[in-house]
Amino acid sequence: MRKGTRRVAAAVFALGLVAAACGGDDSGSSDSTEAPATSEAPSTEAPPSAEACVSSGEPNTGVAPEATTAPSADASAAGDDEVANAQAVVDALRVIPTGISVSVSPSKVVPTGCKVAWLACELPSCTEVGEDWPAIAEALGWELKVINVESASPGAGVQEAIDWGANYIAISGSPVAAFQEQYDAAVAAGIKFAFAYNGEAPADGILTSISGNDAVYNAGTRIANYIIADSGAAAHVLMVNIQMFPVLVAEENGIKDTLAAGCAACTFDVLPVTIPDIGVNVPTLVASYLQEHPDVNYISYAFSALPIGVTAALQSAGLDGQVTQVGVDFDTTGLSEIVAGTHKAWTSNPKAYSSWIMAHAMVLDAVGDEFTEREAAETLPTMIVDDADTAQSILDGSPLQNWKGPEGYADQFLKLWGVA
C-alpha cells in the first residue's frame, strides 16, 4: 500500500542524486568490471561458498514506517463522460508519494557478508536504477560487484556473477530469455535473482520482479487517461516504442486498451524503434511519420530517452505545432521540455527506489522470510508532472535531475531493516 501523499505543486525535493553517466565511474561499488562481449558456456559448478551470508537468528528490531492512506482515482463517479472519467484518474496522480510501499520488517537480524552482483546495462535508465546499490550494500555490510552488460545479451555478465560466487543477482530490463542458460545455471547453484522492468512472472529463483508487465501496463493506462482528458477525448496518438522489451509492449497495450475503452473518437498507432535509434534516427522517423499522418496530434514516448532530439527535428520541419508530446518515466529530457513548454506531461518512475525493493526482497530471503507484500511492492509509487514549476523543482533538486522516490525513502528502508 502507498503510505502518504501531498500535492505536487507544493512538493519540495530534498533528496540529491549521486550517479555518473551510464557505463561511467562505479567507484562506489566494491568491484566494477565490464562483461565480456561474447557469452561463455554456463558453469556447472556451484559458486564459491559465502558462509558469511547466514542469519544469526537473533530477533530484528526494525521499525515499520507509519501507515497512511493515499488518495485514489474514482473514475466511476463521472459516469459515461469520457473526459470526466479520465480527469478523475489524472487528479489522483497530481500528488507526490511520501512513504515506502513495504511495512514488514525482517524477523531476524540481517546477516552481513552477502554478495550481490548488480548487472548495469548500457542505457541511462540503468544508471538510475543502480545508483543506490553502493549505499545499500554499505549499510547492510554486504559485498557489491557491478558488472556492465548490454541489455540484449547479458549472459556473460550473469556468468561472471556466478563465477564470483554471488548470493544474489540484480538486473533491470533484460528478460530471462536473453540469458536462459546462465539463469538456469545460477538457479541450480542456489543464486537468487531480483528483477526490475523485465516482466518476468514469479518462478523459482526469482525473489521479485518490480514494475513488471502488469505495473507497466497500468503506467500506460495513466498516460492514456491524461491524453483523453487533455485532448477533450479527441486524440490521435502515435506511441514511440522499443518492442524488444516485454514491459514496454505491456505499456503499449495499456495505452491502446485505455483509449479503445474510454475514448470512442481516439485513434492509436505505434512507431517501433530500436536502442541504436535513440537520439540518432528517432527524430527523423517521428518527423517523417507526422508528415505522412497529419491527423496525429499526440505523441507518447515509452520512456525517457526516446524523445532526445525530436523537438528540434519537429521545429526544423515546421511540425512542432501539430502535436502535444507526453511520456512515461520522465528524466531531465522530458522535465526540461515541460519547462520549455515543448512537452505537456510525463509520469514518474522512481528507478533508484526500485533497487531498494530488490534489496528488501534479498534481505527477507537472507533471514528465511517470505516476501508477503511482494505484489503491492512491485508497483512503484508514481505521479504525473504537467506544470513548469514542479518540473523545475525536480531539475533543481538533484544532480541527475530526476525523482528517486518518496522523500526520506532510504532512511525508511534502513529503519525497517533494523540497520539505521
The pLDDT, as a whole number, for residue 66 is 66
Which amino acid, residue 194? A
Give the phi and the psi of residue 89 in degrees, each rounded to 5: -65, -45
Instruction: Give the domain-ending residue among 347, 379, 404.
Output: 347
In this structure, what DSSP letter does residue 251 have? H
Residue 160 in grid coordinates: 561472471
Identify the pLDDT of residue 3. 34
Q: What are phi and psi of 201, to 5 degrees?
A: -85, 160
d(CA 17, CA 403): 8
Question: What is the reported pLDDT for 399?
Answer: 62
Provide the whole-model pTM: 0.76
Neighbours of 80 (CB within 10 A): 6
Same domain, 143 and 154: yes
pLDDT averaged over 10-residue windows placed end to end, the chain, 420 residues: 32 27 34 38 45 84 64 50 96 90 96 98 88 97 97 96 98 93 97 92 91 90 98 98 92 98 98 96 98 98 95 96 96 93 95 96 97 93 94 80 87 95
pLDDT number for residue 25: 36
Does 273 reside within a domain?
A: yes
Q: Whose CA is closest to 99, among 350, 363, 398?
A: 350
Looking at the 3D structure of the chain, how many domains does it have? 2
User: What grid cell was written down for 148?
Assistant: 556492465
CATH number assigned to the domain comprising residue 236: 3.40.50.2300
Angle at 63 between CA 146 and CA 407, to 5 degrees: 60
| Cα angle: 176, vertex 181, 187; to 5 degrees | 75
Q: Is residue 260 part of a domain?
A: yes
**Angle at which helices 246-262 and 213-231 pack, to 10 degrees?**
40
Q: How far apart are CA 67 and CA 90, in angstroms?
A: 24
Last residue in a domain, options 347, 362, 391: 347
Whether residue 124 sits in one domain with residue 235: no
DSSP 8-state secondary structure symbol assigned to residue 352: H
Q: How far apart are CA 160 and CA 357, in angstroms?
A: 24
The strand pair at 115-120 and 5-7 is best described as unpaired
Q: Quick one: 141 and 204 in the same domain? A: yes
Tell me, what's the pLDDT at 77?
A: 44
Query: What pLDDT is recorded for position 61?
Result: 79
Please report the pLDDT score of residue 203 as a whole number: 87
Assigned domain for 167 exists: yes
What pLDDT, on a 0 to 100 scale, did the predictor assign at position 20? 28
How many residues appear in the chain? 420
> According to the model, what pLDDT value does residue 76 have?
44
* 67 is a domain residue: no
Half-sphere exposure at residue 46, Cβ-oriented, CA atoms within 13 angstroms: 6
Q: What pLDDT sits at residue 346?
A: 97
* Residue written as grid cell 543502480: 130
